Amino acid sequence: MSVSPVALVISIRVLPGRREAFLSGISRNASRALRDEPGCLRFDVVGDPEDPEAFWVYEVFADEEALAAHRLTPHFLAWQEEKAALVVPASQVDRRGPLLLSEG
């Protein structure tokens, strides 16, 4: 059985007036994940051009183990606490699946 990278796509809505704080916090989490976790291969944050409070986060991990390890890191756990005060409750929707094609 081959191990394939895991892609995670998250949609999330930020509370009014919390956009900059959200971007600052998720930027710290992304930077640390990419710097400190060899299994974190990609971490992108995309803004909705029609809704400044809506975002998509795209992350790629080497495998399920790398994703599980990410969720135990101090920077991820700190971000979860910080994020709770920045996003609309229950607005986060996570989708996860095997990365089938990556070009570029």
Q: Are 43 and 104 in contact (CB under 8 A)?
A: no
Q: State the Cα–Cα distance between residues 34 and 56, nearest whole angstrom.
A: 18
pLDDT tens digits, 7-46? 999 999 999 999 999 999 999 999 999 999 999 999 999 9
Question: Max CA-CA distance within the chain?
Answer: 47
Strands (E), the chain: 6-13, 40-48, 51-61, 93-98
Write out pLDDT tens, residues 37-91: 999 999 999 999 999 999 999 999 999 999 999 999 999 999 999 999 999 999 9
2 pLDDT higher than 80? no
Question: Which tokens is 45 given?
Answer: 């944050």
Give the pLDDT score at 63: 97
Which pLDDT score is estimated for 104?
72
